[in-house]
Chain A
Amino acid sequence: MAEDESSLAEFEQVDFLKDRHVRFFQRCLQVLPERYSSLETSRLTIVFFALSGLDVLNALDVVDKPSLIEWIYSLQVLPTEDQSNLGRCGFRGSSHLGVPYNPSKGPGFPHPYDSGHVAMTYTGLACLIILGDDLGRVNKEACLAGLKALQLEDGSFYAVPEGSENDMRFVYCAACICYMLSDWSGMDIQRAVQYIRNSMSYDNGIGQGAGLESHGGSTFCAIATLCLMGKLQETLSERELNRIRRWCILRQQSGFHGRPNKPVDTCYSFWVGATLQLLDVFQYSNFEKNRNYILSTQDRLVGGFAKWPDSHPDALHAYFGICGLSLIGEPGLRRVHPALNVSERAFEHLQQLHRTWREACT
Chain B
Amino acid sequence: MIIIDVYQTPHTRKTLNCKPLKSHHFRDRKEWADIEPVPQDDGPSPVVKIAYSEKFTDVYNYFRAVLKNDEKSERAFSLTAEAIELNAANYTVWHYRRVLLQALHKDLREEMKYITAIIEDQPKNYQVWHHRRMVVEWLNDPSEELDFIADILSQDAKNYHAWQHRQWVIQAYNLWDGELEYVEQLLEEDVRNNSAWNQRHFVISHTTGYSEPAVLDREVQYTIEQVRKAPHNESAWNYLKGILQDRGISAYTGLLEQVQELQKANSSPYLMAFLVDIYEDMLESGGTSQEDTLNKVIELCELLAREKDTIRREYWRYVACSLQNKFGTSRGATRRFQQIQSC
Contact = CB atoms under 8 A, between A and B. Distances in A.
A261 B226 CA distance: 15
Contacts, number: 233
Interface string A207-219: 1110111111110
Nearest to B68: A111
Contact of A70 (B45, B198, B202): B45
B60 to A, nearest CB: 8
The size class of the interface chain B forms with chain A is 35 or more
B198 A283 contact: no
B164 interface: yes
Contacts of B88: 38
A357 interface: no
A67 B45 contact: yes
A261 B49 contact: no
B171 to A, nearest CB: 8
Among B68, B235, B239: residue with most chain A CB under 10 A:
B68
Contacts of A246: 273
A163 B138 CA distance: 15
The winner among A32, A243, A246 for most chain B CB atoms within 10 A is A246
Interface string A7-50: 00000000000000000000011111111111111110111011
Most chain B CB within 10 A, of A33, A47, A67, A260, is at: A260
Nearest to A283: B314
A269 interface: no
A213 B67 contact: no
A194 B311 CA distance: 34
B239 A286 contact: no
Contacts of B48: 28-30, 32, 39, 43, 46-47, 50
Interface stretch (B50-58, B101-109, B177-185): B50-58
Interface in B29-51: 38-51
A118 to B, nearest CB: 10
A34 B52 contact: yes
Nearest to B232: A261
A203 interface: yes
Given A38-B10, A212-B167, A262 B314 contact: no
Closest 8 CB pairs of A and B: A202-B242, A98-B64, A67-B45, A314-B8, A203-B238, A98-B38, A284-B315, A101-B43
Interface of A: 1, 28-43, 45-47, 49-50, 64, 67-68, 70-71, 74, 94-101, 103, 111-113, 117, 119, 159-160, 162-165, 169, 201-204, 207-209, 211-218, 243, 246, 249-250, 252-254, 258-262, 281, 283-286, 289, 312, 314-317
11 contacts: A32-B50, A39-B50, A39-B89, A49-B6, A70-B45, A71-B42, A95-B41, A202-B201, A207-B198, A215-B1, A285-B315
